[in-house]
Amino acid sequence: MPKITIKVTLITPETTDEKTYNAIYHPEENSIVYKEEDKTTSKIELTNQRLRRENEKIFMEYTFDEEKETKGIVTVKSLQKTLELNLKTRKIDKENQNIEINYVLENDEYKYKLEVI
């Protein structure tokens, strides 16, 4: 499992957040796993465009399907409650291990971009 350096950019309606992380590329499942500074473990599956994030408080999973609507789930662990969110994927650009996803979550526009640097 090769270690790589990635840059993750998340553009939300309120802010643009750009961070660099050390990550591990899993070629057998074509996924990248990285740990954020708040101890959140994130995993992007590049083949089926699924993003998972988990920490001690939440579990989140979004599956992206270009030009289609799907359901995102967010589980609040302390409440043992799971919310289903409406997720519409506008566009997915992939090149090697780089991916950029433009999507709408509950009427707000987002962009998630992961680049191997």
43 CB-near residues (< 8 Å, 6+ apart):
31, 32, 33, 51, 52, 53
For residue 56, the domain's CATH number is 2.40.128.20
pLDDT for 1 = 73
pLDDT for the residue numbered 24: 97
**Whole-number Å distance between alpha carbons of 32 and 52:** 11
- Domain count for the chain: 1
Q: Which two tokens stand for residue 103?
A: 């999507």
One pLDDT digit (tens) per residue for the chain, 117 residues: 799 999 999 999 999 999 999 999 999 999 999 999 889 999 999 999 999 999 999 999 999 999 999 999 999 999 999 999 999 999 999 998 899 999 999 889 999 999 999
The pLDDT assigned to 96 comes to: 86
Task: Count H helices and E strands in the chain, helices first.
Answer: 0, 10
**Whole-prediction pTM:** 0.90
pLDDT on residue 53: 96
Q: Which amino acid is at 30?
A: N
pLDDT of residue 44: 96
Domain of 85?
3-116
pLDDT per residue over 65-81, tens digit each? 999 999 999 999 999 99
Q: Which of 44, 42, 46, 63 has the alpha carbon at shortest distance from 54?
A: 42
